Amino acid sequence: MVTKYDVFEVVYENRAPIRPTEVVKKLSKDEREYHVIHRNLRELVKEEVLIKKKSGFQAETKDKANILYGIIKYCLKNGINYNLILDRNFARFISASLRKSEINSKNTKLNSRTLKNYIEILDKYGLILIISEKPIRGKLFYNILLNNLLVYFGYKHEVITEEHINYMNEIKKEIHTYKKLKKINEQEYKKIVDKLKVSFAYHSLSLEGNPITLPETLKILQEGIIPSNLKSKDVDELKNYKEAIAIMLKDSSERKPLSLQIVLDYHFLIMKHEPEIAGKIRKIQVHIKGNPNFKIVNYVDIQKRLELLFEKYNEFIRKNKVSIEEILKFAVFFHNEFQHIHPFEDGNSRTTRLITFYLLQSKGIPILDIPLGLLDEYMSYTKNSKKREDAKLYYNLQKIILFNVKRINKILS
């Protein structure tokens, strides 16, 4: 059944006034759905996102229409069914939940079936960390999609952004379970890895501006089908990154110590589509686009800073016993130090994520992706930060790891 939001997308993208019969054709529907579509058009006019003219229906020029279109496009890019989340009651639940450190069956004031449905939607798209299922406990992730959803439905909201919860006990428990489950179900684990390395490639490159959508990514990397509308550079970028991820996972499973040469080799794979800079230390000064406050090492000091970083890395891996807390804290340091050194002309951040995952994987911590709901927070504590935010990234990384391990365990169980 066609929805009013399906209709809205067609009208908004058409720009010029469009008649109901034309909307029917663009949606590939038959004439029997004309009355439903016409009713949706009138409803959208009442909601002040469309206007009716003599020549047809047209999108409003107001912010509300632009916000709605932004939500729909974000959902389409990330493989989200926008009809599931564009609901006033769902938005009300999000508004209330973002004011809480955690949500549970007692503080949401919803019946169990509705709460279960909402949490399943959020979990499906990586927008919530489910801490426990019985009793239900969850931590909602705040990102641009949920923010725009609340703005669209007119909900004023306060978000707990600076409260950092320590999930180390939960992480230790889940990793213990993971090690047992992986031993008895190795083949299923390999299937999980194959699936998550595709989503990691997509999420990591989307942070760098690659325009390929998640549905397109799945077609390219899983089916070998390349949509004709895509630029070859963007497709090559995606394929190259997946290849680098696969090699990283193999190397980390073999517990190979990381080295500067290995990092250069990874960068070469990642940036093969730009051979003039692939695997080469930069010899020019660069900066982070849109963030002049992000301090980058002068190119003349890169070699020395990298040597110091790998000295610290080698000291770390030589330690006989390290706690999970120590591993996470060093991973945060390593991530931010490498990103601020910024040794390459391009591809620094995607390389930083790759080698940070390498470090964690080699220490038995299964991290295979950054969930969609934590991407904005992750960026705010790294490339988009005004100052170095190791402490905040530490708590962000805890949520990322716990999300990964719990999802893996749920599938393996």
pLDDT, tens digit, 9 for 90 and up, residues 269-323: 999 999 999 999 999 999 888 898 999 999 999 999 999 999 999 999 999 889 9
Q: What is the DSSP string of 185-246?
A: -HHHHHHHHHHHHHHHHHHHHHTTT----HHHHHIIIII----TTS-HHHHHHHHHHHHHHH
Three-state secondary-structure class, residue 49 = coil
Q: Which pLDDT belongs to residue 161?
A: 53
The dihedral over CA atoms of 315, 320, 325, 329, expressed in degrees to the nearest 10, equals 10
Mean pLDDT of 188-211: 95
Rounded to an integer, the average pLDDT of 119-142 is 93
Q: Where are the domains of the chain?
A: 4-61, 81-152, 168-412
With a cut of 60, say whether residue 263 has pLDDT above it: yes
pLDDT confidence bin for 32, thresholds 50/70/90: confident
Answer yes or no: are the C-beta atoms of 10 and 24 closer than 8 Å: no
Dihedral pair phi/psi, residue 18, rounded to 5°: -135, 140
Average pLDDT, the chain: 94
Percentage of the chain with pLDDT > 70?
Answer: 98
Angle, to 10 degrees, between the axis of helix 186-206 and the axis of helix 390-412?
Answer: 140
Residue 97 has pLDDT above 60, yes or no: yes
Mean per-residue pLDDT for 237-256?
Answer: 95
- pLDDT bracket for residue 334 (50, 70, 90): very high
* Mean pLDDT of the 51-76 span: 96
In contact, 214 and 77? CB cutoff 8 Å: yes
Q: What is the CATH number of domain 81-152?
A: 1.10.10
Q: What pLDDT, on the 0 to 100 scale, is given for residue 109? A: 83
C-alpha to C-alpha distance for 248 and 135, rounded to whole angstroms: 37
Identical fold, 4-61 and 81-152? yes
Whole-structure pTM value:
0.94
Tell me the CATH class for 168-412.
mainly alpha
Topology (CATH) of 4-61? Arc Repressor Mutant, subunit A (1.10.10)
